A and B are shown apart, each in its own frame.
Chain A
Amino acid sequence: GEEVAQTPKHLVRGEGQKAKLYCAPIKGHSYVFWYQQVLKNEFKFLISFQNENVFDETGMPKERFSAKCLPNSPCSLEIQATKLEDSAVYFCASSQLRGRSTDTQYFGPGTRLTVL
């Protein structure tokens, strides 16, 4: 598609439950990024993919967070055993492969996760 799609729009989980978020990048884009936007608008990078391969996972809390981008499927971000501090808006972005220069990242509408 022409836009990054994210589902669901809102997700409510009790502490300790699992949460799974989905992202469909723009067709033809090779890179997918996940960011977490917490209170006070701060963005934290989580992980990126080049096609189905992990490209950069330096921001990923590895104990409870995992992510995948499989061929012909939406990318997913999964949080096992959610904690209150995981409450945030999770944004997915995609970009094209353009050699060495930074290409624009296009963002989806986000998934608001509320952990009660």
Chain B
Amino acid sequence: GDSVTQMEGPVTLSEEAFLTINCTYTATGYPSLFWYVQYPGEGLQLLLKATKADDKGSNKGFEATYRKETTSFHLEKGSVQVSDSAVYFCALGGSGNTPLVFGKGTRLSVIA
């Protein structure tokens, strides 16, 4: 079945450091790919998405590119802030409103 693998962390960075969180997937067909973020004590918020190969999703300085050849969707941000501290989830969705398949989440802590 479909699956998502992401680096487990925790990841601790200093403010203004560069962030990469790796995500790779296994899927049949042509899934859509998502990054969701969960701030402490809150629900899941959509951060960005990409629906086809070579699409780049971006939001709030974060970006990720759908790479079909490497089955990857790595999350990057050039300069993290303390407010980015959260758990980040990579997810894939098949066609026709099938349930999302989530990675195990990566906890990011940014220190001033």
With A101-B32, A104-B46, A110-B43 already in contact, the answer to whether A45 and B99 are too (CB < 8 A) is yes
Enumerate B36-70 residues with CB–CB distance to A below 8 Å: 36, 38, 42-46, 49, 51
Measured CA separation A42–B51 after assembly (Å): 23
With A43-B102, A91-B43, A109-B43 already in contact, the answer to whether A104 and B34 are too (CB < 8 A) is yes
Contact B104 A59 (CB under 8 A): no
**Looking at chain A, what size class is its interface with the partner chain?**
20 to 34
**A109 CB contacts on chain B under 8 angstroms:** 42-43
**A56 CB contacts on chain B under 8 angstroms:** 98-99
Enumerate A91-115 residues with CB–CB distance to B below 8 Å: 91, 93, 95, 97, 100-110
Contact A33 B99 (CB under 8 A): yes
Contact B100 A105 (CB under 8 A): yes
Report the minimal beta-carbon distance from A28 to chain B, rounded to whole angstroms: 14
Contact A102 B93 (CB under 8 A): yes
With A41-B105, A48-B99 already in contact, the answer to whether A104 and B49 are too (CB < 8 A) is yes
Which A residues have a C-beta under 8 Å from some C-beta of B?
6, 31, 33, 35, 40-43, 45, 48, 50, 55-56, 59, 91, 93, 95, 97, 100-110
In the complex, besides A45-B100, A101-B51, 10 extra interface pairs with C-beta distance below 8 angstroms are A6-B43, A41-B87, A41-B89, A42-B105, A43-B100, A91-B43, A102-B95, A102-B97, A103-B97, A107-B43
